[in-house]
Amino acid sequence: MTLPALDIKNLPTPKEETWKYTNLSRALPDSLNLADKQEEILIHKGRGEITGKAEEIVLTGHEGQHHQPRLNITLEPGAELTIIERHEGDGAYWKNMVSIIEIGANAKLRHIRIQDDDKQAVNTSMVRIALARDAVYDSFTLNMGGKLTRHEIHAVIQGENAECTLNGVNLLNGEQHGDTTILIEHQAPHCASNQFYRSVLDDSARGVFQGKVHVHKAAQKTDGYQLSNALLLSPKAEMDTKPELEIYADDVLCSHGATTGQLDEDPLFYLRQRGLTEADARMLLIQAFVNEVVDKVADETAKATIEEKAQAWLQEALKK
């Protein structure tokens, strides 16, 4: 696979189809130290190697930095691993990351990303995933930090009976801009892919969800599912959604859906009739909206961290 790195000398512009909602060059900090070296993280698990405890990677950005982490994860056939990738930092910086993930036959990777970068930072993360037969990639992203973030995932399902799950929650406020762009290529038969994203957008925050499922002619019996739901807490918040299906096989089951809206009045009134204050009722409903995705995180420790961060964010949002 080619390295999909973003080059500061040749940045994508909104004229490109998949970048039309996201203006990267305008968001980058004025002064970046371009002499910064790349940081390489290599993770390799041998044939049948099963790692019980989750491994954690912490990526920390610093003021003025052009941080270029390169993450390579290779799982040999039958290996199993859970990775927790944490993003944090301090100041205005550009974290320009590339991840190359190869999952061998019957191997399984759980990939949990907690993106809580500084609110002045830009985080672009280009992820390439290749799945062999019977492989499983199960990912979840909590996207809550950064001034502008772009999480671009390109998954290629190369062997049959493989499964690729891309889930995520965006919690954005202020002027934050969070872009999730996905391309899943089904090249082999009897595979499944799931995308389930939920966004809560407050103030003037803007969310972008572009998800494309491309089913090649050979990929009969594909089961593809895609759903993006966004909840707008403010009249200035915005969500741009572009779900796409491109199907060349004739025996597949693919569905996609997208909703954007405010909190429903009916459940709100129902809860208030049962004694909950309006603030508590809102909190409970938004929490439930978020937790339906978070509940799918298999790693209990990571799930607890995510729930805690989400709850703190919601409490802050509803205080206003």
Partner 1 sequence: MIKINDLHASINAESEDSKEILKGITLEIPAGEVHAIMGPNGSGKSTLSYVLAGRDDYEVTSGTATMDGVDLLDMDPEERAAAGVFLAFQYPVEIPGVNMSTFLKTSLNSVRKQRGEDELDALAILKLIKTKCKELGISEDMMKRAVNVGFSGGEKKRNEVLQMAMLAPKFAVLDETDSGLDIDALKIVADGVNKMRDPNRSFLVITHYQRLLEYIKPDVVHVLAHGKIVKSGGPELAHELEEKGYAEFLDEAA
Place of tokens 């004739």: 250
> What does the buried/exposed string (b/e) look like for 101-111 if buried means 16 or more CB atoms within 10 Å of the residue's CB?
bbbbbbbbbbb
Ranges within 135-174 binding partner 1 (CB under 8 A)? none
Cβ 215 vs Cβ 247: under 8 Å: yes
269 binds partner 1, rule: CB under 8 A: yes
What's the min distance (Å) between Cβ of 291 and partner 1? 6
- DSSP state, residue 169: E
First-to-final CA distance of the chain: 47
**Near partner 1 by CB under 8 A, which window of 8-16, 151-159, 273-281, 298-306?**
273-281
- Going by C-alpha positions, the residue among 23, 25, 31, 21 that lies closest to residue 8 is 25
266 binds partner 1, rule: CB under 8 A: yes
**Near partner 1 by CB under 8 A, which window of 49-57, 200-208, 242-250, 259-267?**
259-267
Ranges within 59-98 binding partner 1 (CB under 8 A)? none
Tell me, by CB under 8 A, how many residues bind partner 1: 21
Q: Show the beta-strand stretches assigned E in 104-147.
A: 108-115, 122-131, 136-143
C-alpha dist (Å) from residue 80 to 107, 108, 190, 201: 6, 5, 21, 35
209 binds partner 1, rule: CB under 8 A: no
Ranges within 274-313 binding partner 1 (CB under 8 A)? 274-278, 280, 284-285, 287-289, 291-292
> For partner 1, which residue of 273, 300, 319, 320 counts as binding (CB under 8 A)?
273
What's the min distance (Å) between Cβ of 288 and partner 1? 3
Give residues in contact with partner 1 (CB under 8 A). 265-267, 269-278, 280, 284-285, 287-289, 291-292
